[in-house]
A and B are shown apart, each in its own frame.
Chain A
Amino acid sequence: MSSKTAKPILHSAAWRISLWATLAFACGTMLVFVFLHRFVASDIQRRSDAWLSGEVEVLGDVAERTPKDALHDRVVAEVAELAGREVPNRDPMASTSNDSVFFLQTGSDGSLLLWVGAGSGLPNLKAIQTSRIVPDRPTDLNVQGTAIPFRVASTRTDDGSYIYLGLSERDELRVLRNLRARFILLWLVLVLLGFGIVFYTTRRMLSHVREITDAASRIGHSDLSARVPTTARRDEVGNLAMTLNHMLDRIEISMHQLHTITDSLAHDLRSPLTAIRGKLEISLSSGLQGDQSEPIVSVIEELDRLTDFLNKSLDVAEAKADALRLARSEVDLDELLEIMVDLYEPSMSEMNIQINLESNGPLKIEADAALIHRMIANLFDNELKHLPAGCTVNLLLKADQGCASLILEDDGPGFDREVLLHLFESRVKGKGSNGHGLGLAFVDAVIRAHGGAVTACNRQSGGARISVTLPLAFRQRAGSSAPVTRGPLK
């Protein structure tokens, strides 16, 4: 019973663990980036603001000091143009034509005195007039017709005119865009790499768990000597393996104790039974008359029943504790049932009970032959003891999904309603039964010990039905022949 699936990698918990870990990692790194981005953006702005403030100061100075003659405007325009070439964060690949900076001087009445920059300067003037620009503090300015806002610093000259120096935020945004693009790329690589590493390590770790699971599932009901593989590492997985092995040690010890108890109980009861039986047999053979031998005969029969009861009780007790020891060999259920029907048929026909066996041919299981024989005999004994005359017992044996399925049906009175639910428990017996109520408990115990199942119910049309399934021997699981019906064997 291997727990291995066809594609274990698809069903691995490593996926889930890696996904969650990667998600946490991705969120963390993204958060770090957002802070970094904000820091870089504010730094760039601070630097461009410092440049703007400095330049506008210089330009104000120049405008003030230059004599107001014909050359005044040209000198100021020249200085403004020169300043524009030293723009911070400027794209070195961009053309020399400079549209990222404008210089604007207004008179005290707000009229345009001087304009250096791309275009006519009127939209800029209009934007400046509509927004309140405080001197000496750079402010954002949205100019109609330009997608990217300008950062504008201003100063007031002594003659009452205002000087505005505007710097397009285009370069600043470009730097940030580049930063973002690179980060996203790096982030994706990191996240994928992180996922890969987490998945690999988790899977490696879980593969130890899977090895433990596989080994644990191989440890059978009755064979507890195997142990799960341990690793030298003292981590959780290593501890799990060690704990499992300690647990198996303890189970093995208690199983051994159970065996010791049942064995010594059996021994302590069987030895006196042997002596008593032997002595009775000797006195029986010493030529007693019919009347005198009768009590001895009945005592011997009682002793045999007691022995049988003892054996069954101990078997049921061990099977309930999953400790029944099995000596497995190949058993052909078809052949066995045929022999059993042959054995029981005369007794049944004495009682006017008919028995039919329908089988699909040989059906082999790996089982403890002696236990299976006794189990089937119990089922037959049960029918023989409880069925009234004139009934029919039908046995159907077939292979069904890797299991041998044996269905035993009769048309008798069925099980007592109150007994039906507890049918396979020890000490449960019908009203009319004079047995010790172990027969079906024993049947159940043997079938369970072999990894099978047994169910019982009353049929709709009347009568009882007991359905037994037992795992087939490995070699038997391929193919079966056509059904063969056998009547009562003569």
Chain B
Amino acid sequence: MRLLLVEDEIDIQSFLRSSLEEAGYQVEAAADGKTAEQLAVEGEFDILIVDLGLPDQDGISLILRLRQLGLHAPVLILSARRSVDDRVRGLEQGGDDYLTKPFALAELLARLRNLIKRNSPPASEATRLRVLDLELDLLRREASRSGQLLQLTPQEFVLLEYLCRNAGRVVTRSMILDRVWGMRIQPDTNVVDVHIYRLRSKVDCQGQKPLIRTLRGVGYVLKDR
């Protein structure tokens, strides 16, 4: 998976590069629009990360220019601005995504995966999800563990489904709020944690291997090993 990272802040570029490479991406980095354009024309990229505030030009102008040059790869826009530009909204509707700084790495990775999945030919949608001994029937909206049916509320089922789809990967609180409740909010209370505790009390019964793990300061992960 080849990724072009366009970010002028060297600090951010370096930590992004290392964590993206760790996540399995082949990363090429550019610190300004001109270099980015050159790299994008020369090499084939599967996905781009573009910061809006570049020293030589506006990130959106760069994206529009690259699109004109025939680039089809999806773009994850990074923005340190306060308001979301109308043009960003336009790009978002066109299949790209944006993330405001500062962000959690887990969220960045999740958004990248989403973008790639959206742009790849759709696989036949599974009707069942399976993670170790946990099984979800997406049609009947039922979950069971080791054959035992779990008594979940519809909301808990959606939450568990989201964790299962991202099994083995970290999901942050704001990702959960965004995907399960459809809100980009930052509550300064433990609302998400309580939902997870409740779900965990039903999924990880006594005597069973705990599946839902809390990574403090980062988020949650549903273990798949």
A285 to B109, CA, bound (A): 14
Name the one of A267, A300, A303 contacting B218, with C-beta atoms under 8 angstroms.
A300
- In the complex the two chains form, is A263's CB within 8 Å of B217's CB? no
A4 touches B (CB below 8 Å): no
- In the complex the two chains form, is A347's CB within 8 Å of B190's CB? yes
- In the complex the two chains form, is A308's CB within 8 Å of B186's CB? yes
Interface segment, A121-129, A210-218, A377-385? A377-385
Q: Please, which residue of chain A has its CB at the minimum distance from the CB of B81?
A: A263
B123 touches A (CB below 8 Å): no
A343 to B183, CA, bound (A): 10
B-facing residues in A413-471 (Cβ within 8 Å)? 435
- In the complex the two chains form, is A327's CB within 8 Å of B188's CB? no
Interface segment, B58-66, B96-104, B114-122, B141-149? B96-104
- In the complex the two chains form, is B15's CB within 8 Å of A270's CB? no
B139 touches A (CB below 8 Å): no
On chain B, the residues within 8 Å of A279 by CB distance are 11, 15
Known A-B contacts A267-B81, A298-B217, A327-B84; A281 and B194 likewise in contact (beta carbons under 8 Å)? no
What is the CB-to-nearest-CB distance from A469 to chain B, in angstroms, rounded to a whole number?
22
What is the CB-to-nearest-CB distance from B184 to chain A, in angstroms, rounded to a whole number?
6
- In the complex the two chains form, is A275's CB within 8 Å of B12's CB? yes
What is the CB-to-nearest-CB distance from B98 to chain A, in angstroms, rounded to a whole number?
12
B27 touches A (CB below 8 Å): no
Name the one of A263, A293, A343, A346 contacting B198, with C-beta atoms under 8 angstroms.
A346
- In the complex the two chains form, is B89's CB within 8 Å of A327's CB? yes
- In the complex the two chains form, is B217's CB within 8 Å of A296's CB? yes
What is the CB-to-nearest-CB distance from B219 to chain A, in angstroms, rounded to a whole number?
10
Give the A interface residue count (CB, 8 A).
54
- In the complex the two chains form, is B217's CB within 8 Å of A346's CB? no
On chain A, the residues within 8 Å of B81 by CB distance are 263, 266-267
- In the complex the two chains form, is B183's CB within 8 Å of A270's CB? no
Q: Please, which residue of chain A has its CB at the minimum distance from the CB of B190?
A: A347
Secondary structure dominating the interface of B? loop
What is the CB-to-nearest-CB distance from B223 to chain A, in angstroms, rounded to a whole number?
15
A384 to B190, CA, bound (A): 10
Q: Please, which residue of chain A has its CB at the minimum distance from the CB of B105?
A: A281
On chain B, the residues within 8 Å of A184 by CB distance are none
On chain A, the residues within 8 Å of B182 by CB distance are 339
Q: Please, which residue of chain B has its CB at the minimum distance from the CB of A374?
A: B185
What is the CB-to-nearest-CB distance from A432 to chain B, in angstroms, rounded to a whole number?
15
Name the one of A327, A350, A385 contacting B83, with C-beta atoms under 8 angstroms.
A327
Q: Please, which residue of chain A has its CB at the minimum distance from the CB of B184?
A: A370
A381 to B185, CA, bound (A): 12
B-facing residues in A290-323 (Cβ within 8 Å)? 293-294, 296-301, 303-305, 307-308, 311, 314-315
- Which of B81, B84, B189, B195 is packed against the most chain A CB atoms within 10 Å? B189
What is the CB-to-nearest-CB distance from B95 to chain A, in angstroms, rounded to a whole number?
19
On chain A, the residues within 8 Å of B188 by CB distance are 305, 308, 381, 435
A385 to B187, CA, bound (A): 11
A277 touches B (CB below 8 Å): yes
B155 touches A (CB below 8 Å): yes
A-facing residues in B139-188 (Cβ within 8 Å)? 153, 155, 177, 181-188
B-facing residues in A341-400 (Cβ within 8 Å)? 342-344, 346-347, 350, 370, 373-374, 377, 380-381, 384-385
B18 touches A (CB below 8 Å): yes
- In the complex the two chains form, is B187's CB within 8 Å of A278's CB? no
A285 to B155, CA, bound (A): 30
B53 touches A (CB below 8 Å): yes
- In the complex the two chains form, is A278's CB within 8 Å of B191's CB? no
Known A-B contacts A266-B81, A311-B82; A282 and B189 likewise in contact (beta carbons under 8 Å)? no
B205 touches A (CB below 8 Å): no
Name the one of B102, B105, B181, B216 contacting A297, with C-beta atoms under 8 angstroms.
B216
A96 touches B (CB below 8 Å): no
A224 touches B (CB below 8 Å): no
What is the CB-to-nearest-CB distance from B83 to chain A, in angstroms, rounded to a whole number?
5
B41 touches A (CB below 8 Å): no
Known A-B contacts A275-B11, A339-B181, A347-B191; A307 and B83 likewise in contact (beta carbons under 8 Å)? no
A270 to B100, CA, bound (A): 9
B38 touches A (CB below 8 Å): no
A100 touches B (CB below 8 Å): no
A177 touches B (CB below 8 Å): no
- In the complex the two chains form, is A284's CB within 8 Å of B218's CB? yes
On chain B, the residues within 8 Å of A275 by CB distance are 9, 11-12, 15
What is the CB-to-nearest-CB distance from A486 to chain B, in angstroms, rounded to a whole number?
15
- Which of A266, A301, A303 is packed against the most chain B CB atoms within 10 Å? A266
- In the complex the two chains form, is A304's CB within 8 Å of B186's CB? yes
On chain B, the residues within 8 Å of A435 by CB distance are 188
- Which of B100, B104, B190, B216 is packed against the most chain A CB atoms within 10 Å? B216
- In the complex the two chains form, is A267's CB within 8 Å of B53's CB? yes
- In the complex the two chains form, is B53's CB within 8 Å of A377's CB? no
A325 touches B (CB below 8 Å): yes
What is the CB-to-nearest-CB distance from A281 to chain B, in angstroms, rounded to a whole number?
5
- In the complex the two chains form, is B186's CB within 8 Å of A277's CB? no
A139 touches B (CB below 8 Å): no
A245 touches B (CB below 8 Å): no
Q: Could you name 19 residue pairs across A and B whose Cβ atoms are closer than 8 Å?
A: A266-B80, A266-B81, A273-B102, A274-B102, A275-B9, A275-B15, A278-B15, A278-B16, A281-B19, A281-B106, A308-B188, A315-B82, A339-B181, A342-B181, A343-B191, A347-B189, A347-B190, A374-B186, A385-B189
Give 20 new A-B contacts, CB below 8 A, not counting A263-B82, A304-B186: A262-B82, A263-B81, A266-B80, A266-B81, A266-B82, A267-B81, A270-B100, A273-B101, A274-B103, A275-B9, A281-B104, A325-B83, A327-B83, A339-B182, A339-B183, A342-B155, A347-B194, A374-B185, A381-B187, A381-B189
A: residues with CB less than 8 A from B are 262-263, 266-267, 270-282, 284-285, 293-294, 296-301, 303-305, 307-308, 311, 314-315, 325, 327, 339, 342-344, 346-347, 350, 370, 373-374, 377, 380-381, 384-385, 435, 490
The 7 A-B residue pairs with the shortest CB-CB distance in the complex, in nearest-first order: A297-B217, A275-B11, A278-B15, A274-B102, A300-B217, A270-B80, A274-B101
